Amino acid sequence: MSFIEVLSSSQILFAALLTGAIYAIVAVGLNMVYGTMRLLNVAHGDIVMIGAYAAYWLFTQLGIPPVASMFVVAIFCALIGAALYKLLLKKMLARPGDVPHLEARSLLLFFGLSLLIQNLVVSLQTATPRAYQYMDHVYRISNLAMTGNRLLALLVAFFLCLAIAAFLRWNIFGLALRAVIERTDAARIVGVDVERVHLISLVIGFGAAGVAGVLLSMMEQFSPFMGFSLTIAAFIVVILGGLGNIAGGFAAAMILGAIETYGVALTSPNMRSILIYGVFVLALILLPKGLFHKRFKK
Amino acid sequence: MKTQSFFIKAALACSVLIGLNSPAFAQEPPVRIGYSMSDTGPFAMASQEQINVYNMWKDEVNARGGLDVAGKKRPVEFVEYDNQSKPDQSVRIYEKLITNDKVDLLLAPWGTPFQISLAPVLEKYKFPVVGNTAASVAVRQMHAHYIWFPTSAVPDKMAVALTEMMKKNNVKTAAVISNILPFTKEIKNYLDPQLKKAGITVKYETEYPPSIKDMTSIVTQVKNAKPDAVLVLSYPSDSILFEKQASEIGISSPFQFVAVGPSTAAFRQAVGKAANGTVTLGHWSPDRPEWKGAKAFYDDYVARYKYEPDYLNAPLAYMSLQILEQAVAKVGLDKEKLRQTISTDTFDTIDGKVKFEGVENVITPTAFLQIQNGKLQIVWPESIATSQFQPKTHP
C-alpha cells in the first residue's frame, strides 16, 4: 500500500481509533490508581480478563448480551476494586513509608495478585481459549466496513472516556480526585476525604477495565493469560501521557493506537513491537515526564 | 464373649461385602503411567485438548476393567507433573519419572519442542513413547529409536499436498501471510518452492508476529490483490483474528486456507458462519465408518466436555494411546519388546491403520479439512474424503 493509500484509508483510520480507544479505557484505571495512591497495579490487565470471562459466561450461559452485561460486569469489577481496597490496600497505604517503598511493595502485591487471579481462572474455567459471536453483522459506509461489535466497542470506549473526563472536570468527587493526584497533602489539608478518593479511583478504574474486557471479548479470542500484554500496553500509555495525567493518558492512547496501526500498514506487521517500544524508549529519553508534561503543569 | 463373636461375624460380613463390591482388578497393582504437561504458562491453552483426551482414556480404560497387560487387566494410574511450558523442565520431569517414580509407561508431553527434547532422554533410558502433537521435518532428522509420530501434517509433505489441491481447483494466484512462529515458518519455507514449481503467482505476501492484535492493513492488501487463494499460515488466536477481519472487510477468494485453529470448536464458535469454506490442516473425521471407534470417540468427548474435540490434536493424542494400548496388550510392559512391536506392527486407530517406518506414520495420508455448514469434512485426498471441496463464498 502506498503512503497516500494508507493515509486515506477509512478502514485503517477505524482500526487505529478502535485500538486507541481500547487502550484508553484500559489505561485510565491504571493511571488513576497510580495517580491517587502511587500503587503500581500490574494486575490491571487481569481485571480486564475477568471482565471478558464474565461477559462470556453471562452471554453463553444466561443469554445476557454484552451490551447489557457490560453494566453488570462494570459493577462487579468495581466491587472487586472496592474489596481489594478495604481488605488489602487500605492497610498498606496506612503504613508509614515513602513513595518508592510503597511502589515497590505494591508491585510485589499486585504481581502476586496477578498470578493468583490467572491461575484461579485457569482452575475454574480451564486454560481453553474462549470466544463467542455477537453482533457480527457487517455495516458498510462507502469503502468502510465495520462489524457491529467493533463499532459498538468504539462507541462505548469513546463514551466511557468522555464520561470519565466529564466526571473529573465537573463532579465534586472528580475534582477531589484530581486534587489528590496533584497534591495529596494539600488536598487533605483543605478537607478532601483522601481515603474516599482512593476508593473512588479504584472503583472507576476497575469498572472501566471490566468494560474493556467485555468489549475485547466480543471481538477477539481470550484466555486467562490475556492480561499481561494489556498491562504492558497500559503502562506505555500511562508513561507516554504522564503518570497520573488522565487527559494526557487518553491522548497518549490514541497516539499509540495510531502508531501501531499506521506504522504497521506503512512498514510491516513484524515492525509492530519495534514501533511501539521504539516510541516508548524515545519518549522516555526525550520526554521522561510524558508527552504532555509542560502543558498540564500548573 | 457374645459381643466378641458378634464383632467377628460383623467383620467377616463386612469383608465379604467389600469383596463383592470392589472391582475385579482389585488384586492387581495399577499400571503407573507418567507424563509432563504444560498445565501452566504460555502453552497451557494449547495443551488442553491433549490433557482432556488423556483423562478421558484413563477413565474409559478403568471402566472397562483396566489396561490389558499381555492378557492381564490392571487399573491405570497417572503420575503427572506440570512443566510450566518449559521444554528443559519437561526433560527433567521425564528423567525423574523414569528413575525416581519408576513409572511403567510414559505418555508424550504437548507440542513439537517438548517431544523433540524428550527424544534423547528416551534413547538414554531405552524407554519407548508414542508421540502425538508434534509435527516438524526436524523429528525425522533426529533418527530417534524410542519415539514415533502418528501425524501426517509434516510441513514438507503438506506443502506438496496443498499445492496439488490448489492446482486441482484452478488456483493461479495466491496471497501468503504467515506467523513467524516455528511451525508456520517451516510450512512457508516448504510452500514457497512448491508454489513456484506449480506456476502459482504470489501476488502479496507478508509475515507478522504472534503478538498481532489487528490485521486491518494485511486484510486490506489481500483484498486489493484479488488472489484466487489466500494462504494464512497462522496459530489459533490469529486465525480467529484473520477470519473475523476478512469477513468484515470482505475477501472473496474462493480458496482460503487457515493453518492452525479452524479444527477447534472454539474457532467455529468465535467465527460462526464466516468460517464456512475455510480449508485447514487435519486428517481425521468421525464420519469414516471403517475407522473403528472414531464416532464413539467423538460422542464420548462431546458428552464429557460439552464441546467438539479439536480434529487435529485430540485424535492424535488418542491415536498415541491406542497404539500404546495395543502394543502393551500384545507384549506387556517390557520396554525392548514394546519398542520392537511399536516400530514394526500395524495398529488400528480412530484415524485408520497406522504403521511406522522410522519415526513416521507411513499409512495416514496428508489431508485437509474444510468447514462446511459449521461442520468439518475431509476434502483432500479423495481416498479418505468425507465431502467435496466447495469454493468459499463471501456472504
- Model confidence at B46, pLDDT cuts 50, 70, 90, reads confident
Is the pLDDT assigned to residue B10 strictly greater than 60? no
Taking the CA of residue A48 and the nearest CA in chain B, the distance in Å comes to 16
B8 pLDDT higher than 50: yes
The confidence score (pLDDT) of residue A129 equals: 80
Q: Reduce the DSSP state of residue B390 to 3 states and report it.
A: coil
Contact A11 B241 (CB under 8 A): no
State whether A269 and B217 contact (CB < 8 Å).
yes
Split at pLDDT 50, 70, 90, the class of B76 is very high
Are A272 and B209 inside 8 Å of each other by CB? yes
Q: CA angle, corner B243, sides to B237 and B244, nearest 5?
A: 90
How far apart, in Å, are the Cα atoms of B157 and each of B152, B184, B365?
Answer: 8, 14, 9
Class of residue A92 by CB neighbours under 10 A (exposed 0-12, middle 13-18, buried 19+): middle
Please name the residues between 238 and 267 in chain B that touch chain A, using a CB distance below 8 Å: 240-241, 244, 247-250, 266
State pLDDT tens for residues A151-196: 999 999 999 999 999 999 999 999 999 999 888 889 999 999 999 9
**B233 Cα to chain A: minimum distance (Å):** 14
Kindly list the residues from chain A whose CB atom is less than 8 angstroms away from the CB atom of residue B304.
Answer: none
Q: What mean pLDDT comes out for the span B365-377?
A: 96
* Alpha-carbon gap: B292 to the closest alpha carbon of chain A (Å): 28
| Contact criterion met (CB < 8 Å) for A132 and B221 | no
Task: State percent of chain B over pLDDT 70.
Answer: 93
Subunit contact B274:A136, Cβ cutoff 8 A: yes
Say what the pLDDT of residue A273 is: 86
Give mean pLDDT, residues B90-107. 96
- Is pLDDT larger for residue A8 or for residue B292? B292
What pLDDT was estimated at residue A298? 45
Res. B11: pLDDT tops 90: no
Asked if the interface predicted TM-score (ipTM) of this complex is over 0.85, the answer is no
Q: What is the DSSP letter of A242?
A: -
Q: Cα distance from A270 to chain B (closest Cα, Å)?
A: 5
Assess whether pLDDT exceeds 50 at residue A138. yes
Q: What is the pLDDT of residue A131?
A: 84
Topology alike, domains B28-153+289-361 and B155-281+367-384: yes
How is chain B split into domains, by residue range? 28-153+289-361, 155-281+367-384
What is the pTM assigned to this prediction?
A: 0.84
**Which helix or strand (DSSP H or E) is residue B379 part of?**
strand B375-380
A25-78 residue pLDDT tens: 999 999 999 989 888 899 999 999 999 999 999 999 999 999 999 999 999 999
Domain range annotation of chain A: 3-296
Best of B188, B213, B232 to mutate (most A CBs within 10 Å, chain A): B213
Determine the pLDDT at residue B3.
Answer: 52
Among A231, A230, A250, residue whose Cα is nearest residue A240: A250
Contact: B211, A272; criterion CB under 8 Å? yes
Chain A: give the shortest CA distance to residue B159, in Å.
24
Chain-chain contact of A138 with B271 (C-beta, under 8 angstroms):
no
Which residue from A237, A223, A175, A191 is spatially nearest to A25, judged by alpha carbons? Answer: A237
Q: Which chain A residues touch B if contact means CB-CB below 8 Å?
A: 1, 6, 9, 11-12, 14-15, 18-19, 119, 122, 126-133, 136, 138, 145-147, 150, 219-221, 223-225, 229, 260-261, 264-265, 268-270, 272-273
Rounded to a whole number of angstroms, the distance from the CA of A3 to the nearest CA of chain B is: 12
Q: What is the largest CA-CA distance in chain B?
A: 98
CA distance B55 to chain A (A): 14
Nearest to A270 among B45, B208, B270 (CB): B208
Nearest to A261 among B214, B236, B237 (CB): B214
At B67 the pLDDT is: 96
> How many other CB atoms are found less than 10 A from the CB of residue B192?
14
Question: Which CATH architecture best describes the domain A3-296?
Answer: Orthogonal Bundle (1.10)
* Best B37, B110, B217, B304 residue to mutate vs chain A (most A CBs within 10 Å): B217
| Residue B137 Cα distances to A106, B155, B189, B321, angstroms | 47, 7, 11, 23
Q: Which CATH class is domain B155-281+367-384?
A: alpha beta
Chain A contact for B218, CB < 8 A? yes
pLDDT mean across residues, chain A: 90
Give mean pLDDT, residues A239-268.
90
CATH superfamily of B28-153+289-361: Response regulator (3.40.50.2300)
